[in-house]
Chains A and B, each alone.
Chain A
Amino acid sequence: MAASPVLALAGVDKAFTGVRALHNVGLRLFAGEVHALMGQNGAGKSTLIKVLTGVYAADAGSMELEGQAIRPRSPLDAQRLGISTVYQEVNLCPNLSVAENVFAGRYPRKALRIDWDAMNRGTRELLAGLNLDIDVTRLLSSYPVAVQQMVAIARALSVSAKVLILDEPTSSLDEDEVQRLFAAIRRLKSQGMAVLFVTHFLDQVYALADRITVLRNGEFVGEWLAPELPAPALIAAMVGRELVARRAATEAPTSVAAQPAEFELRGLGRKGLLQPTDLALRAGEVLGLAGLLGSGRTELAQLVFGLQQADTGELRVGDRPARITCPSDAVQLGIGLLPEDRKTDGIVPELSVRENIILALQAKRGMWNCLSGEEQSQLAEKFIKALGIKAANAEMPIGLLSGGNQQKALLARWLATHPKLLILDEPTRGVDVAAKLEIMDEILQLAAEGMAVLFISSEIDEVVRVSHRVAVLRDRRKVGELPAGAQEHDVYHLIAEQA
């Protein structure tokens, strides 16, 4: 381990029109070490990374790379200095080939022509380093998000970097791919790379990180060696106090289990999306849907919500077959869907928090049954208070809220419609620990109030904690159901057993 840091930041301040985002923050990255940057949403992690990569200029403070003072003015500038970044959302061109993406902006040339052979060969070598063997001449969009993420990392590595910043690289990967990514990161580490790793997954921090820096409210809380900071202490450092004991789902009340299902899938399926599946959703019960990425979780939600048309089977609502051909049919039947991707499918960034919250309710009530301005404001205020949405007021554009608060506002959008069935597709993704627990408590509360909830998450521990029943999917088919109290390894067992 090197004695002096490769990259050192000290006393960094950054404010946006008077709002302090970072205050006196320091960070030290060492060669051959993985450094985890931790903090809740809004703690200043993203801002710090943007300062590091030259997106923002710091108001004060120093930044040294191998002892030399640096001041990157743009991401390109930072990259030239040896600081490469992989962002949370994949920032690549889906309409170009994998190889073109990896070499974008610096295609190898033979005279005036692009040297495709060299480019493809180079890409294959880089991807082989990540243990990924794919056809690099195919379009990027033909691969799943997980592969695209690996391509993004390969791209970041291809510019001989000294420092690699990974901003939530695992949020769209399943367990297997995470392990593959970690193997790649460990290899880079052994080659002397300094890695900065930002994530919300605590277990990943301990699996990978050597050193941890915690930020809170834009301030530096501390730097620890990973073994010296056990998980409870880490959470306490991030949140600022001990967390309350978690509430866990127990067996659903017997009265619920005996009831006929409010919503029932009978052999519902569609070729290429989901094998015919039976599933019963009862009022007052949280049904967890567990499975790896690509197991058909999201597809099942899409079929129920009318985003995809089933070609076999039926969906019965209150013991009558229902015809759902588009989302608005589903909304009329009392179904709500919190989509997986908050940014592309959830928020309307320019509209206010209030307008985002009332969107689904107003759609359900129809064009001529208008909510008055007064009702709208009251509704918005009610949910802002009830869910603890941190917003200056209901009229500010939702795009300005942090991820966790946007997610709560989207939850409010559906709660306002009083749905009978609420489908939550990855509701805790990209949300900080405290907000995660709040959202899960809210889900249990909703079920207790008589709502049927379908909870989809790739974090199996969350699924087993919050569900009264867990349905396990694998390879686009249901492979079994587990009762409440099932453990994480039971789920994995069920997935593996059928393989």
Chain B
Amino acid sequence: MHDPIADMKQGSAPAPAPAGSSRWGDFVRHNLREYGMLISLLAIMVLFQWLTEGTLFQPLNLTNLLLQNSYIVIMALGMLLVIVAGHIDLSVGSVCGFIGALAAVLMVSYDWHWLPATLACVAMGAAIGAAQGWLVAYPKIPSFIVTLGGMLVFRGLSLALLQGQSIGPFPDQFEHLSSGFVTELMPGGSLRITSLVIGLIAAAALGVASLRGRAGRLRHGMEVEPYAFFLGKTLIFVACIGLFSYLLASYKGLPNVLIVMAVLIVIYDFVTRRTIVGRRIYALGGNKNAARLSGIKTERLTMLAFINMGVLAALAGLVFAARLNTATPKAGLGFELDVIAACFIGGASATGGIGKVTGAVIGAFIMGVMNNGMSILGVGIDYQQVIKGLVLLAAVYVDVYNKNK
């Protein structure tokens, strides 16, 4: 007879390892969500590569795709934290536009040097985030309402700043931030060797990091993917990064923005998985009362998530303004929707507590590839929106369906 008490005392009895092929099946089933996302992205890329008869992956277009998407990805990183904390920020598009306008006024109208102007803009983003975050955290006004207010306020303020006109062009160094490329150290040849090398180093680093991560999980007796699966996945990843770097290197090299974006993704992935602040945000979103009762200053943490969002929205605003090389009253219009959609496509839960940085990034790229691919195909802006909306609904439907199963 099985003795329940004895079992309890022994604590963790190792679960019997399922054998052979069923292990693969189980694994894929349990992690369908995570890999499903990635597979969808790949499928969408292949689909558009075929539909556009190879235009999608042409070096020029690939570069464009990355530039077009950079600000969405940057903001999605912040939005993910806000959503995981159990809130939403509708104001990011307006903040993005407002910061671009502010940058233009400072640099063009007032002739500031680009560096202090940029810093001032980022500080302004933080201040905006702090103000909205304070309203959400302390007087406990629902974030939806606070940021809906913010959306109107900053849209209005950017119109006021620009007085309805476009302001530009920006100083060259500033423009370089967004539309520049990594400087080539090896002259001559059509291939940008430096860029290629950086890309290959990144690919190798990713491979090594995955191997070490798997070894660590094994050491702690945690569940890992079947070896062959892991190897295949990692090789595909490494190969993809290598291939993309090669494609980019054969045009103008790696865009500066890509470097900024990649660094941010790595940092935020680390922050959300490994650091105290990151894990506290998950605890906050998962069960606010439990977090508070454990001694976490939940109000301060909520505010921090919004400040972070403000900073990233400011950064995205600068990147966007630099890319157009002018600040326009329409800048940032509707960005919040793409950013929020990216997070939800990426598997974030609307009730908080669940979501991954990698998911949000993949979500942003799914939106980006669709935007780009449909534009090449000449799909009108009308049906582009319809299709994007349906994709969002489908992704969340699959997610919810899997969860309830």
For residue A413, CB closer than 8 A to chain B, the reply is yes
Q: Check if A390 sits within 8 Å of B293, measured CB to CB.
A: no
Complex Cα spacing A257 to B117, Å: 67
The one of B2, B18, B277, B291 that contacts A348, using a Cβ cutoff of 8 Å = B291
Min distance, Cβ B237 to any Cβ of chain A, angstroms: 23
Complex Cα spacing A19 to B24, Å: 18
Q: Check if A390 sits within 8 Å of B8, measured CB to CB.
A: yes
Interface size on A, residues (CB 8 A): 50
Q: Which 10 A-B pairs have the closest CB atoms?
A: A331-B295, A348-B286, A363-B295, A360-B294, A345-B289, A328-B295, A348-B287, A359-B294, A388-B8, A363-B296
Q: Check if B290 sits within 8 Å of A347, measured CB to CB.
A: yes
A interface residue numbers (CB < 8 A to B): 18, 40, 42-43, 216-217, 239-241, 305, 307, 326-328, 330-332, 337, 339, 344-351, 355, 359-360, 362-364, 367, 370, 373, 377, 384-385, 388-395, 413, 434-435
**A305 / chain B contacts, CB cutoff of 8 Å:** 293
Closest to A19 in B: B15
Complex Cα spacing A327 to B9, Å: 33
A240-B5, A359-B291, A390-B11 as given contacts; A367 in contact with B283, CB under 8 Å: no
A327-B293, A332-B295, A350-B286 as given contacts; A355 in contact with B279, CB under 8 Å: yes
**B290 / chain A contacts, CB cutoff of 8 Å:** 339, 345-348, 359
**A43 / chain B contacts, CB cutoff of 8 Å:** 4
**A240 / chain B contacts, CB cutoff of 8 Å:** 1-5
The one of B15, B275, B295, B354 that contacts A364, using a Cβ cutoff of 8 Å = B295
Complex Cα spacing A370 to B279, Å: 12
Complex Cα spacing A339 to B297, Å: 17
Closest to B13 in A: A392
Q: Check if A327 sits within 8 Å of B292, measured CB to CB.
A: yes
A337-B293, A363-B295 as given contacts; A217 in contact with B4, CB under 8 Å: yes
Interface residues of B in 274-307 (CB under 8 A from A): 274-277, 279-280, 282-283, 286-287, 289-297
Closest to A326 in B: B297
The one of B220, B223, B282, B297 that contacts A377, using a Cβ cutoff of 8 Å = B220
**A364 / chain B contacts, CB cutoff of 8 Å:** 295
**B295 / chain A contacts, CB cutoff of 8 Å:** 327-328, 330-332, 360, 363-364
Q: Check if B294 sits within 8 Å of A331, measured CB to CB.
A: yes
Q: Check if A350 sits within 8 Å of B4, measured CB to CB.
A: no
Q: Check if B222 sits within 8 Å of A393, measured CB to CB.
A: yes
A327-B293, A327-B295, A390-B11 as given contacts; A216 in contact with B4, CB under 8 Å: yes
Q: Check if A347 sits within 8 Å of B287, measured CB to CB.
A: yes
Complex Cα spacing A241 to B353, Å: 41
13 extra interchain contacts, Cβ-Cβ under 8 A, other than A241-B3, A345-B289, A351-B286? A217-B2, A240-B5, A339-B289, A348-B286, A349-B286, A350-B282, A350-B353, A351-B279, A359-B291, A362-B279, A363-B294, A388-B9, A395-B222
Complex Cα spacing A216 to B7, Å: 13
Min distance, Cβ B122 to any Cβ of chain A, angstroms: 22
23 sample A-B contacts, Cβ–Cβ < 8 Å, listed by A number: A42-B4, A43-B4, A217-B2, A217-B4, A305-B293, A327-B295, A331-B295, A339-B293, A345-B287, A347-B287, A349-B287, A350-B282, A367-B276, A370-B275, A384-B12, A388-B11, A390-B8, A390-B11, A392-B12, A392-B14, A393-B221, A395-B220, A434-B8
Complex Cα spacing A351 to B353, Å: 9
